[in-house]
Amino acid sequence: MKRATMKADEVHTPTATIKGLEISIGKIIDDEWDEKMGPTPMPSVTDLRGWDFRLLERYKPFYGPFCDSCCLCTYGKCDLSDGKKGACGLGIEPQQGRIILLACLIGSTAHGAHARHMVDHFLETVGDMDIDMGDNVQVEAPVTRLVTGIRPRRMSDFLDVLDYGEREILHLLSAAHTGQEGNVIDFESKALHASMIDQMFMEVADIAQIVRYDLPKGDPEAPLVEIGLGVIDRTKPVVMCFGHNALSATSVMDYTNIKGLYDSVEVAGVCCTALDMTRYESRAKIAGHISHQIKYLKTGVADVITVDEQCIRTDTLELAQETGTVVIATTDKICYGLPDRTHEPAQETIDLLVEGKLPGALILEPEMVGEIAVEVAMKLHPKRKKKRFDVKKAASACSQCKQCNKACENFIDIARGMKEAQEGNYSYFSEIFMRCIGCGRCLPVCSKNIDIIRVMTEAAKEKIMNEKYKIRVGRGPIQDTEIRNVGQPIVMGEIPGVIALVGCPNYEEGPEEVVEIAKTFLDRRYIVVATGCAAMDMAMWKNEEGKGLYELYPGRFDAGCLANVGSCVSNAHIAGAAIKIASIFAHRDLRANYEEIADYILNRVGAVGIAWGAMSQKAASIATGVNRLGIPVIVGARGAKYRRMYLGRKDIPEDWIVYNARDGSKVQVGPGPEHLIYASESKEEAIVTAAKLCIRPNDTSKGRQIKLAHYIDLHKRYFGEYPDDIHLYVRTRSDIPITEKDTIDRILKENNWEEKQIPDPTLLERLVRRR
Amino acid sequence: MKRATMKADEVHTPTATIKGLEISIGKIIDDEWDEKMGPTPMPSVTDLRGWDFRLLERYKPFYGPFCDSCCLCTYGKCDLSDGKKGACGLGIEPQQGRIILLACLIGSTAHGAHARHMVDHFLETVGDMDIDMGDNVQVEAPVTRLVTGIRPRRMSDFLDVLDYGEREILHLLSAAHTGQEGNVIDFESKALHASMIDQMFMEVADIAQIVRYDLPKGDPEAPLVEIGLGVIDRTKPVVMCFGHNALSATSVMDYTNIKGLYDSVEVAGVCCTALDMTRYESRAKIAGHISHQIKYLKTGVADVITVDEQCIRTDTLELAQETGTVVIATTDKICYGLPDRTHEPAQETIDLLVEGKLPGALILEPEMVGEIAVEVAMKLHPKRKKKRFDVKKAASACSQCKQCNKACENFIDIARGMKEAQEGNYSYFSEIFMRCIGCGRCLPVCSKNIDIIRVMTEAAKEKIMNEKYKIRVGRGPIQDTEIRNVGQPIVMGEIPGVIALVGCPNYEEGPEEVVEIAKTFLDRRYIVVATGCAAMDMAMWKNEEGKGLYELYPGRFDAGCLANVGSCVSNAHIAGAAIKIASIFAHRDLRANYEEIADYILNRVGAVGIAWGAMSQKAASIATGVNRLGIPVIVGARGAKYRRMYLGRKDIPEDWIVYNARDGSKVQVGPGPEHLIYASESKEEAIVTAAKLCIRPNDTSKGRQIKLAHYIDLHKRYFGEYPDDIHLYVRTRSDIPITEKDTIDRILKENNWEEKQIPDPTLLERLVRRR
Amino acid sequence: MAKPYFPGNVPGIKMAMAVTPEQAAKIIKKAERRILVAGAQLEEVEQAINLADGAIVAAPDTVRQFKEKGASPVVMNKVSITNLLRDASSWKGLDGKGSYDLAIYMGSPYYFESQMLSCLKHFSSCKTIAVSRFYQPNATYSFDNLSEKKWKEALTDLVKFVEE
Amino acid sequence: MAKPYFPGNVPGIKMAMAVTPEQAAKIIKKAERRILVAGAQLEEVEQAINLADGAIVAAPDTVRQFKEKGASPVVMNKVSITNLLRDASSWKGLDGKGSYDLAIYMGSPYYFESQMLSCLKHFSSCKTIAVSRFYQPNATYSFDNLSEKKWKEALTDLVKFVEE
Ligand code: SF4
Ligand code: SF4
Ligand code: SF4
Ligand code: SF4
Ligand code: SF4
Ligand code: SF4
Ligand code: SF4
Ligand code: SF4
């Protein structure tokens, strides 16, 4: 409330020396929204602390530090091992909280800066626009409404939202200074706050681009487009756009389109920029995600690469120079030391780049990028000498020292591949190709200085050529009507759960695990949603008839459907869907009512996120953001390197007590969901656990039966056994899946099971209706 | 410019459900300021990149990494040793730039959050106020004017300034995400930007509190107040305020004052909160800085400690509990897991604290803190049992294992002290007491679990009791009139330099080195200014007549004077003074004209910062901020742990070429200033180098003579020799100090010296008046 | 001194003591109550059973194999058991009879196990010994990095010494 | 293995080889062009002179002592000389005759010297040897942590071996 009242005295105005400026005060957004303001509009760092403490009392942070030291100030390095404290008094546990806070802040600001860049740019270049997400999406910005209490109707309404977010970031980052917060739970509460802000930032970013570029507005039948390492026709000039902010990529597509060049120039994207490009223009191609950047760079496929922001190899310029690819940097996030040519004539820049007088340029005006990128590609393409790369010869230098193997965290047997390649046998390299995450760590350790990635990629060339799949274009938000249809079955448990496959590709086994996870749940009629790199990897499979998941399963938000929501920032729509279930289906007040909605989701909405290869700080804040909202997340084994999980203790019954909102009594509801975020050692464990994490205290008996049936069935299928915690999830006999009745009866008896009440569950005492 | 135009379409309004709200659009800040808008109002991350690149071409970053790894994402830990790159492509050098960026951002946000907290709070509680810094300060916010182009007239004008700063922080922090910036100089440019924003944040914070609390407005005769470890009368109830944001401390002082309790309650501060307290109320006492926190905590001197923010031992609550001191946390930065009692009745909270039912409380409403803190102290004081601590007995447990000695980075021979203490001899502990930085690292390693700090402090008690000195209250900004008086002699070089002693106390030798540095320059009629911990330590000395520096030297901004500007945020006034020299004395356009002013300062204003014990991220951003403005900084040996310096190469003549603004010719001007930031191994080196760093290309011959004379004299005094680079600083024969003529003639001959031109120096080609 | 298998994985200050099978056996036998924690990738089920002193926690993925060989492990993923072990002071063990003073870790992805061991290193009184193929710096004791063949032998030796 | 004197000061991956005076002497004698870099706290001026092969850089604080003992060092603070050495490929040395392949560091505050050595470790081809009392992990080679007495002896031995 503090924030809201504050704004009353404040009118922002231009610093009015700008020539010819007309000060036209557009509209005063008075309150057309009839929903009453909830308790926490634009919550401060401490406003939701109570909720966080309640969550973290149950889901205690678990830390596996990466480092025994702290190196953040010149009192350090401090030795934090064996319980020692740093010179500022900080112990290793709060230090982990501090590291997590920093990670979540970095993640949050990545999306926030993206959102800010877009909104500012759109307002500047096209002026204000109505936020119209189509007839099927009336609740157009659920996260923003929930967090800020603002219902954005115009693009400019986002300015207040962003200002608020930026203010919170300021406060939060300052808490990481030496000699600030000292309590680990308070650090985590701040991380949760940073990550909630991230959800809001993502929503603003995605809505802004949807509105500006008329991207699909929750279209379940968004078109299918090409994806894969084989989609690029190398005989044509190639422009590739790397990154996560499609502003400059749209200019590449516009130029290509306007000049009628789509037949003669290949325009492809890598990472989320690629996903967003296809939302704009289905002739754009998705060439893959972060794992493949180095492979494209090493083989020099692109004539021009544009880089915008986030998750782009930081040595892109250096690698591009190896093959004469030109690099155009397009935002302040990535400048690579390149000369700023924004204010120079485009033609001059084009000439300098084509003539090789500059290896690249910084062009900060997105609208300029298209012409320069496409023209340079067309002029450069015929000039670039494509030296044939002799794989066998390169491989023949290998001395089988196996230094490379030791560097590879994916345990790829590079030495074996080299040996086979020496004999012209490329099957191993082809086979493991998709398992290579492109980290490049094998390169510097090679005792023979072999360009391993190049060898591997050229060896796998034939396979790569065939790597062509279909992905459904990111649809954007979930429609209100879809929510109305599935709200009841989700909350009652009849749709067993919503599985969101999101995040980066930092895993050992390549796309196949993600595909299997998705398919398992699709076939069991869970709702599956996807974003980002996960949405891409999920496409990288075909059945015998040559059909992929996106072709086999409809794009709706419904049981047995696979909805590609879009890029990283589209993740907000997944949180948004959960919020809309509470709001549209259950008619809970949405506006500035964070705690109640999160409580609702935690206790009722069986949604689970799986970020199987989560790598980035963004993934950390995305996961932590949905955690605050009551949605559990599973990360892969490598996710343990985030250093923190939120773990429940199913062996402590008191940890699972809720209020019964009907009468205020305290009821033990069993460990559902068991954890808020945890790293799973194996794909099998992740699948089984995801099914379990869909269990929520509010499940009807019918719903619980279904959920338990899946859980038990999956457990048996993967592990050949019944799980050992069934008794914890059976509240009354009617919860027991009929097909398993006898066994479960036995299990219940063995465990001295007693019947429990099914309450109207809440963690918030104030929601109790009467005592 | 982009930012400025943007604002035109943007009108912020309340989310208008607030009851009874009157929308009164106060004033549209149209342009009453007749100075024309400069080229870079509210510069974006890239707008000043050209300037940064120019600076860093000459002053190349030098890195001494603290760690061979990067641990910032789950691709890691990455091994960056031996030139290897991380999985994202980042090498160790840009990684250092990234770490520096993070440090500067953390520092900058600490001040930004402080400023935002104050401005929001003041607007909310007292409404808008005129920014009136008194008749002698017409250019009231030079940094803000310079950076944003805004001339703030009312407190609410700061809202735009803060919004801008927060936006930049957002963009900058996002650049630290995995796969963003890849170039080390671009990372540094971003760090410089973050740190420029910090200067602005500090200025806002300090002006806000000056205006709100009517603190001294540039008063050279601000009162002298008590400082020292002996100032507290332990027989009375004691409230100590730790931190850097005096909001809640003012409420403690107000309550004490209103209730007429100043005779019966001790109100003292530690760190910058203490400095700011005395600016508000000269009956408040300064108990010392961060080094002494643990000593106060261990001996339980305070009945109540309030903590606000920054540089406060993070284990304060834990340590306070050892002695039954109550802790009141007062901001979102530091919550210590304490229950939020902001919305509970004060009396109830007081009772709970006095009865020991709570070890502390979180009170987020500053106005509530005074009553609770003072009442609890008064009630608790008689109840607290002061167990006599038997020093001899405690020390007698010591086995002389010397583990403690190995932990002490200040090489204090604790074991020796223990041995002597066993015999009742406390002289060693008393002697080294001020050298102990209170890091507490000796504590956990003691094989006999001796409470070393307690022993040391109790042993030094007698000495401590006498530690009472005088410090001049922080005066705030430099007056325009003072600038008018000293502008010419500074720019011409006749006042040999401005030495700013700032920052933290992370040094080996205690206050005496800072005292010596200050005194050396004062006696040579440099202008000496001070802030923060350095301003405090400078007070901790007396001459034979019992007079300290603040008593011996006047508080003006003038030759041979010592101006205590104030707390950390008051540092902005030092940068502000340099800016005002360019603006008021030299009539350079100030408004949004960053590059030109920085160029002016770099080439003309012989100011040098010395942060002898710089420890914090704030110190990093403060130093980096003045670096962008062309002011060099010297840190102590421990400052090498910041990992980065900006070093000039005096052996490369081409690095020292400037444009002559008169005709556009390029002139070699010699290495002045030689470095932008560097760590000095010894106090002697620092003194001599500071004198040298005052040399600027624009010095008149008379000025150069004076500066050289000091440099040579100090070099001889400390090192017994002539410096070996005199010939580089003699441009024409008239630069030669007359007293040294013969020797220098010889030196010049030996070095084949040739006469050089004295240009009107600038690094900015566009400032060349004609060709 | 032993180096982490992935060179980046240096925790800094406190690193496991690298032990031979003989030394490892002594450490294991000296423990008052030990627990064997087997991960999802475990193949050496028999050796695991032989190293254990009854208390075995197996990842669900491998339970079948344990049972086939006559053991009856508690089924739990490694995160959960590590979470219990970090609470060494209050958790009463699989049998409710008290805490463990040594946990034998094996059978998980290297980097994953490293984080689990780091948790216990910092937050538990329970010591750990890692007997997988690669040196785990975050354990209290660990085998050094070994070739596949050498490691198999080491494991066999270890079992032999423990059973002696 | 040697441990940094301040336990926090573990750089992680690449740590100096701890050497005895004899080994140190071999390394020093094997160098093609060595430079001795003496810090502001140096007391062992004579040994420093004897370790050097002509090329001495002394912090201004100690130049007098060097001259008194007949040496003529170049006067430079440690930051500046380190800054030149990191540019090993292009800086032509004190005498303009070429770069150095070994720098002997001594006589500075521990943490300060550590950062200087770290710079060269990462950014220079010039190897470093630290012969102060405490183990410097960021050097290429370093004495181990020694007592005052042992260190004095080590330094004497080192000079002897170098002169042999
Ligand atoms: S922030 Fe604290 S723990 Fe970290 S280096 Fe500084 S004093 Fe040590
Ligand atoms: S680039 Fe691929 S093969 Fe090389 S280390 Fe990384 S994952 Fe392994
Ligand atoms: S490191 Fe190089 S030479 Fe050694 S096995 Fe690998 S590819 Fe072959
Ligand atoms: S999913 Fe992860 S790796 Fe992929 S683009 Fe998003 S943050 Fe980057
Ligand atoms: S926290 Fe990271 S950067 Fe710091 S010392 Fe540890 S591994 Fe190195
Ligand atoms: S940010 Fe880059 S260098 Fe750092 S851990 Fe991640 S991949 Fe490695
Ligand atoms: S607290 Fe004082 S004596 Fe103890 S280690 Fe720190 S500086 Fe040394
Ligand atoms: S560590 Fe403790 S016992 Fe050992 S010398 Fe120091 S004070 Fe004495």
C-alpha of residue A112 to centroid of ligand 8, in Å: 51
Asked if C10's CB is within 8 angstroms of D13's CB, the reply is: yes
Q: Which atom of ligand 7 is nearest to the CA of B437?
A: 7
C9 at B interface, C-beta within 8 A: yes
Tell me how far the alpha carbon of residue A176 is from its chain's centroid: 24
Between CA B160 and CA B148 the distance in angstroms is 9
Least confident window among A10-14, A404-408, B313-317: A10-14
Between CA A85 and CA B444 the distance in angstroms is 8
pLDDT digits (tens, 9 = 90+) for A66-102: 999 999 999 999 999 999 999 999 999 999 999 999 9
Q: Is the CB of residue B400 below 6 angstroms from any atom belonging to ligand 8? A: yes
Joined together, the tokens standing for residue B513 give 């080195």
- A473, pLDDT greater than 80: yes
- B1, pLDDT greater than 70: no
Q: Is the dihedral of CA B713, B719, B720, B721 positive or negative?
A: negative
- A19, pLDDT greater than 70: no
Tell me how far the alpha carbon of residue B612 is from its chain's centroid: 11
C-beta separation of B180 from A333 below 8 A: yes
Would strands A224-227 and A60-63 be described as parallel, antiparallel, or unpaired? Answer: unpaired
Q: Is the CB of residue A510 below 6 angstroms from any atom belonging to ligand 2? A: no
Q: Which of B299, B402, B453 to mutate to test the pocket of ligand 7 (most atoms within 8 A of CB)?
A: B453
Residues of C in contact with A679 (CB under 8 A): 79, 112, 115
- B2, pLDDT greater than 70: no
DSSP string, B53-107: HHHHHHSEEEE--S-SEE-SSTT--EE-GGG---TTS--HHHHHHHHHHHHHHHH
**On the CB side of C163, how many CA atoms lie within 13 Å of its CA?**
11
How far CA B282 is from CA of B132, B224, B250, B251, in Å, comes to: 22, 8, 12, 15
Q: Which atom of ligand 5 is nearest to the CA of C10?
A: 7
C-beta separation of A645 from C79 below 8 A: yes
Q: How far is C79 from chain B (nearest CA, A)?
A: 17
**What pairs with residue B761 in β-bridges?**
B660
Between CA B31 and CA B34 the distance in angstroms is 7
State which residue of chain D sits closest to C17, comparing Cα positions: D1
Taking residues B239-254, report their average pLDDT: 97
Asked if A651's CB is within 8 angstroms of C13's CB, the reply is: no
Structural domains of chain C sorted by starting position, each given as residue range(s) with its CATH number in brackets: 17-163 (3.40.50.1220)
Secondary structure class of A290 (helix, strand, coil): helix
- A21, pLDDT greater than 80: no
Q: Which helix (H) or strand (E) holds B285?
A: strand B285-286
Asked if C77's CB is within 8 angstroms of A409's CB, the reply is: no
Question: Which positions ≥6 away from B459 have C-beta within 8 Å?
Answer: B391, B395, B417, B421, B426, B429, B430
C-alpha of residue A469 to centroid of ligand 2, in Å: 24
- Mark out the alpha helices in A631-723 (DSSP H runs): 683-693, 701-719
Secondary structure class of A223 (helix, strand, coil): coil
Q: What pLDDT shows up at residue A29?
A: 42
A18 at B interface, C-beta within 8 A: yes
pLDDT digits (tens, 9 = 90+) for D97-156: 999 999 999 999 999 999 999 999 999 999 999 999 999 999 999 999 999 999 999 999
CA angle B265, B270, B274 (to 5 degrees): 75
Given pLDDT bands bounded at 50, 70 and 90, which one contains residue D11? confident
Asked if A637's CB is within 8 angstroms of C109's CB, the reply is: yes
Q: Is the CB of residue B107 below 6 angstroms from any atom belonging to ligand 7? A: no
Segment 78-97 of chain C within 8 Å of chain A by CB: 78-80, 82-84, 86
Interface test with C, best of D13, D17, D144 (most C CBs within 10 A): D13
Q: Is the CB of residue A71 below 6 angstroms from any atom belonging to ligand 5? A: yes
Taking residues C28-48, report their average pLDDT: 97
Q: What pLDDT shows up at residue B570?
A: 97
The set of chains that have 3 or more CB pairs under 8 A with B is: A, C, D
The complex scores an ipTM of 0.96
Between CA D113 and CA B638 the distance in angstroms is 10
- A770, pLDDT greater than 80: no
Given pLDDT bands bounded at 50, 70 and 90, which one contains residue A4? very low
> Which residues form the pocket of ligand 4, taking CB atoms under 6 Å from any ligand atom?
A 271-272, 289-290, 311, 503-504, 532-533, 568, 615-616, 618-619
Q: How far is D71 from chain C (nearest CA, A)?
A: 41
C-alpha of residue B438 to centroid of ligand 7, in Å: 5
Least confident window among A313-317, A751-755, B4-8, B600-604: B4-8
C-alpha of residue B71 to centroid of ligand 6, in Å: 6
Given pLDDT bands bounded at 50, 70 and 90, which one contains residue A31? low
Segment 130-149 of chain B within 8 Å of chain A by CB: 148-149
Q: Is the CB of residue C8 below 6 angstroms from any atom belonging to ligand 5? A: no
Q: Which long-range contacts (CB under 8 A, 24 or more apart) does B159-163 make?
A: B159/A10, B159/A12, B159/B119, B159/B123, B160/A12, B160/B7, B161/B200, B161/B204, B162/A167, B162/B112, B162/B115, B162/B116, B162/B119, B162/B201, B162/B204, B163/A12, B163/A163, B163/A166
Q: What pLDDT shows up at residue A16?
A: 31
Q: What pLDDT shows up at residue A193?
A: 98
Between CA B105 and CA B118 the distance in angstroms is 19
DSSP B521: H
pLDDT digits (tens, 9 = 90+) for B3-27: 222 232 333 333 333 223 323 233 3
Between CA B567 and CA B589 the distance in angstroms is 29
pLDDT digits (tens, 9 = 90+) for A108-146: 999 999 999 999 999 999 999 999 999 999 999 999 999
Secondary structure class of A621 (helix, strand, coil): helix
- A3, pLDDT greater than 50: no
Taking residues C151-164, report their average pLDDT: 96
Other Cβ atoms within 10 Å of A551 Cβ, number: 18
Q: Is the CB of residue A73 below 6 angstroms from any atom belonging to ligand 5? A: no
Between CA B691 and CA B498 the distance in angstroms is 10
Q: How far is B74 from chain C (nearest CA, A)?
A: 10
D133 at B interface, C-beta within 8 A: no
Q: What pLDDT shows up at residue A6?
A: 27
pLDDT digits (tens, 9 = 90+) for A649-692: 999 999 999 999 999 999 999 999 999 999 999 999 999 999 99
Joined together, the tokens standing for residue B106 give 């953390």
Between CA B209 and CA B572 the distance in angstroms is 13
Q: What pLDDT shows up at residue D12?
A: 84
The set of chains that have 3 or more CB pairs under 8 A with C is: A, B, D
- Closest residue by CA, ligand 8 atom 4: B401
pLDDT > 90 in chain A, percent? 93
Asked if B76's CB is within 8 angstroms of C10's CB, the reply is: no
Taking residues D22-37, report their average pLDDT: 97
C-beta separation of B469 from B537 below 8 A: no
Q: What pLDDT shows up at residue B196?
A: 98
Residues of A in contact with B84 (CB under 8 A): 441, 444-445
Asked if B62's CB is within 8 angstroms of D83's CB, the reply is: yes
Segment 23-52 of chain C within 8 Å of chain A by CB: 39-41
Taking residues B66-82, report their average pLDDT: 95
Q: What is the dihedral of CA A680, A684, A689, A694, to 10 degrees?
A: 120
Chain B residues with CB under 8 Å of a chain C CB are 68-69, 76-79, 81
Q: What pLDDT shows up at residue B27?
A: 34
Would strands B666-668 and C17-18 be described as parallel, antiparallel, or unpaired? Answer: unpaired
pLDDT > 70 in chain B, percent? 96
Q: What pLDDT shows up at residue B771?
A: 52
Q: Closest to D14 (Cβ–Cβ): which among B81, B637, B638? A: B81
Q: How far is A615 from chain B (nearest CA, A)?
A: 5
Between CA D21 and CA B295 the distance in angstroms is 43
What is the phi/psi pair of residue B647, to 5°?
A: -115, 130
Average pLDDT along chain B? 94
Average pLDDT along chain A? 94
Given pLDDT bands bounded at 50, 70 and 90, which one contains residue A15? very low
Between CA A331 and CA A364 the distance in angstroms is 6
Residues of D in contact with B724 (CB under 8 A): 74-75
- A2, pLDDT greater than 60: no
Q: How far is A689 from chain B (nearest CA, A)?
A: 22
Other Cβ atoms within 10 Å of A386 Cβ, number: 11
The set of chains that have 3 or more CB pairs under 8 A with D is: A, B, C
Residues of A in contact with C82 (CB under 8 A): 62
Query: In which residue are the tokens 């509801």 written?
Result: A669
b/e for A389-404, b at 16 or more Cβ within 10 A? bebeebbeebeeebeb
Asked if C10's CB is within 8 angstroms of D12's CB, the reply is: yes
Provide the number of CB pairs (under 8 Å) joining chain A to chain D: 13
Q: Is the CB of residue B437 below 6 angstroms from any atom belonging to ligand 7? A: yes
A562-566, strands of its sheet edge to edge? A60-63, A644-647, A675-679, A633-635, A607-611, A498-501, A527-531, A562-566
- A285, pLDDT greater than 80: yes
Q: Is the dihedral of CA D100, D103, D109, D110 positive or negative?
A: positive
Q: What pLDDT shows up at residue A20?
A: 30
Q: What pLDDT shows up at residue A1?
A: 26
Average pLDDT along chain D? 94
Q: What pLDDT shows up at residue B31?
A: 56
Average pLDDT along chain C? 94
Asked if C111's CB is within 8 angstroms of A641's CB, the reply is: yes
